[in-house]
Structure 1
Amino acid sequence: MLLEKIKTPGLSHLSYLVASGGKAAVIDPRRDCECYLDMARANGVEITHIFETHRNEDLVSGAPILKALTGARVLHGPNAGGKVTYAEIATEGDEFDIGQLKIRVLETPGHTDDHLAFVLHDTAYPEGPVGVFTGDALFVGDVGRTDFYPDRKREVAGLLYDSLQKILALGDQVILYPAHGAGSVCGSGMAEREFSTLGHERANNPRLQFKSREAFIDFKVGENHYQPPYFRLMERLNLEGGEPAPRVLRPRRLTLKELDDVAADHLVDVREPLAYAAGHLRGAMNLPVDMIPAFAGWFIGEGERVALVASSEDQLKAAMTHLVRIGLDDVAGGYVGVVPAAAQGHDMRSVPMIGTDEVRQRLDAGDAGWTMLDVRDADERSESAIDGSMHIYVGELHTRYRELDPARHYTLMCASGMRATVAAGWLASRGFDTLDVYLGSMGAWKAGRG
């Protein structure tokens, strides 16, 4: 028997390949799916089945692409909100043989209506299941979000509760294989480790400690989650079936003149926040490579063209890979090197960084032309906030920037300064010239008051 976990950095997406007796199955494949073929071939097995736990909202599924490459059957749950054109419907109790392994279907709605869990049995040891692929229903340290059906909040939260009880009933010995790890937008409390058992989760997962179904529902209904606009694109593509990823996940190299002339909707600087703040091309927004999976889908729309600015070819490749995995394929090219552009007299901009003393002075002075803008999420702000600050979540600035006055002076803050620089970069690209970032942000504020 073979069981391999494939982690997609940035998205914190976890997919799996299981094999026995020369056959293999893939659970929740990503769009750039050659890795599963390479793994299967290296182990001398044939991919015969592809299982999807649900219609993903945060990445393009690789199931239709892998199906075309292998001829494997794709199995998906009922009630997907439309026809999943590339898949067969699997329902409660269906079983599939992979060598001496047997995969049994559990219907586990709640996160989404079509959600399935796949229970792994080893027929050589018939005492009970050995593992379960839980998708976005149960994570290590957390459970799935239930905010995708706003008109049915209590109903779907209750459905998730019932699904979790069904999963836990498999037995404490069962190994948990979730579809995401810490850092995913699909949950906020996941543990850093990506291994667990149902018994460990039953005893330690905070979301499994509620004394009643109603208490669980009340908690889930009260959660705060954000839905980037690109979620709607993912939902549609994962019904219709996404196109294969570009064969070369590296953008065309642009000269400075070509960068100036390229017709792009967004100029995206993917360098680290402090590098961007020190000097960047006019009109560029900042999406550091590691933050692209979380925030690109807020600011870049379907069909919009992107030109990239980076400090290295590796950064360009990583940035394009992240964009492709969430369906933002139209990358016009990439330019490497901001310092050479400055040396050639190119128009440059910077974002000043300020510290706690300066923030205190401005707050005490009550400057009528200045605003401290907090771009953390609602949960963070509810725990602690700076009196007198304004709040707009960083992702929501993609539209709500229109509520702000470009002539006003804004200081951006978050927990450390990273998201604040992304927010400042977006405002700068929209014509806001008087901006700075509170370096250290809430962390520095708390330390300075201690």
Structure 2
Amino acid sequence: MFIQTIKTSGLAHLSYFVASGNKAVVIDPRRDIDIYLDIAKENECDITHIIETHRNEDLISGAPILSEFVNAEVLHGPNADGEVLYATTVKEGHQVRIGNLTLEVIETPGHTKDSICILVFDNDFDQGPVGIFTGDTLFVGDVGRTDFYPEESEHVAGLLYDSLQKIKAKAAASIIYPAHGAGSVCGDGMAEREFSTVQHEIMNNPLMGINEREEFIQQKITEHHYQPPYFSDMERLNMQGAPAYATFQMTSSVQVEQLENMRQQGYVLIDVRPIESYLGAHIPNSCCLPIDMITAYAGWLFSLNDKLVIIADDQNMARYAALHFARIGFDNIEHYFSTNMAMVAAKGSCFSTIDAVNAEQVKQLLKDDWHLLDVRKITEYEPIHIEGSEHIFLGHLADKISALSPDDKFITMCASGIRATVAAAYLQAKGYNNVKVFLGSIGAWQSKNYPVIKPN
């Protein structure tokens, strides 16, 4: 028997392949399902069941896709916000047996109303559950967010408290297997490690340590989480079942001369290279979104209906970027441009740059009518920021850009300069020509011991 963790970069999503004998269960699969098929083949296992611990908001579920490939039953918890068309509803106590393992459902609403956790029993030892798949109910160092039902905020926070007490009572000695790790939008306080036990979380997880229901509720309803617009699309697709991922097949790069015509026809040019490459030289009017930021910000800055052209170092990079886009529903990608900006320039084609400035330069520029635009999360900005800076969360830039004058001069900043580069590129692509990037951002500013605002 074995449990294999499958980590999806960008999303910090964790899915699991659970096997015993020659049978297997997959828990919370992602849209690109080849890895589960490969593991099954390597271990000569038949996937008999697929379990979703909850309705996913931040990625497309691979459950209906994998089910169709292997003819396995999909199990989903009760009280979903609508009918999950491809799944069988299971309730508290439902069991699935594979080899020497028994998986048992417990209902744990709170993060979503249909959330469940899965207890894992080793049938050779009568010692209670040895593991628990906690979905988005319990993480390593944090617990699930409860802001998806704003009109019932106190009620669902209370449900999560009750669910955590159930986990404490039923699985105190168990290893936990959450659906996300550090970097996920589903929590802010997750640890970098992906291993823990319920007992360890009881002793060390701040929210698991709250023993008063009302105190827990008040803590949860004062949290701040962002909800990207694409979450509603994920919810819809994960109720009806999304189609299989169509692998990016474009075999040749478009020509540089075509890019401007394509942009004028409505295509969005997205450069997925590292920010250092983008800052050095890039295709005019292209946006910057490095691969590891696609799943975090594409759904904020672009629409699922947008037709995208990926600008990358080569086809492999373009294909990898297309996969990241597809995991959150961006399927309108048929073209890429394999860029070598030195060759582009050598052929006489136009290119653009964005100035990167350091802390000393920023300090001087602020005396000359430059506006400092901080694009960090509000939970980063409020504890510490530079006096006079304007805050617009990067995810809100598309909605709030109209409030910024194209005639003004902007310096974008964040924690290090990566998100600031994405913001500056977005502004430049929208016609804001006086833009610079504060490379190093708040970290560089503090290293110089320049003054900051730290509200009490």
User: What TM-score do the two structures reach when normalised by structure 2?
Assistant: 0.95
> Shift of residue 312 of structure 1?
2.7
Structure 2 residue 349 is matched with structure 1 residue 361: no
Deviations 1:352-373 (A, max 9, x none): 111111222233x3x4x42111
Match of 1:277 in 2: 279
Match of 2:377 in 1: 377
Match of 1:73 in 2: 73
Match of 2:326 in 1: 324
Match of 1:137 in 2: 137
Q: What are the within-5 Å matches in structure 2 for residues 379-394 of structure 1? A: 379-394=379-394
Paired residue total? 447
> Shift of residue 44 of structure 1?
1.0
Q: 8 Å contact 2:111–2:156 — kept in the other structure?
A: yes
Separation of aligned partners in 1, 2:425 and 2:203: 44
Separation of aligned partners in 2, 1:141 and 1:154: 22
Deviations 1:170-218 (A, max 9, x none): 2432010000111111111111110111111111112212241111111
> Shift of residue 242 of structure 1?
0.4
Q: 8 Å contact 1:5–1:15 — kept in the other structure?
A: yes
Match of 1:306 in 2: 308
> Shift of residue 264 of structure 1?
4.5
Deviations 1:31-78 (A, max 9, x none): 000211111111111000000001100110000000100110000112
Match of 1:409 in 2: 409
Separation of aligned partners in 2, 1:405 and 1:259: 27
Deviations 1:344-398 (A, max 9, x none): 22222111111111222233x3x4x421111011111111011111000001001
Separation of aligned partners in 2, 1:54 and 1:319: 27
Q: 8 Å contact 1:249–1:320 — kept in the other structure?
A: no
Quick check: 67-76 or 91-100, which moved more? 91-100
Separation of aligned partners in 2, 1:228 and 1:339: 36
Q: 8 Å contact 2:248–2:333 — kept in the other structure?
A: no
Q: 8 Å contact 2:248–2:323 — kept in the other structure?
A: no
Structure 2 residue 262 is matched with structure 1 residue 259: no
Match of 1:292 in 2: 294
The letter for the 2-side match of 1:309 is I
RMSD of Structure 2 on Structure 1 (CA): 1.4
Match of 1:62 in 2: 62
Match of 2:156 in 1: 156
Structure 2 residue 131 is matched with structure 1 residue 106: no
> Shift of residue 252 of structure 1?
5.1
Separation of aligned partners in 1, 2:437 and 2:299: 23
Divergent runs of 4+, >6 A:
none
Unaligned runs of 5+ in 1: none
Separation of aligned partners in 2, 1:266 and 1:162: 46
Match of 1:231 in 2: 231
Match of 2:454 in 1: none
> Shift of residue 332 of structure 1?
2.6
Separation of aligned partners in 2, 1:196 and 1:4: 15
Separation of aligned partners in 2, 1:184 and 1:250: 30
SS at match of 1:102: strand
> Shift of residue 253 of structure 1?
2.5
Match of 2:167 in 1: 167
Q: 8 Å contact 1:251–1:333 — kept in the other structure?
A: no
Q: 8 Å contact 1:5–1:16 — kept in the other structure?
A: yes
The letter for the 2-side match of 1:336 is S
User: What TM-score do the two structures reach when normalised by structure 1?
Assistant: 0.96
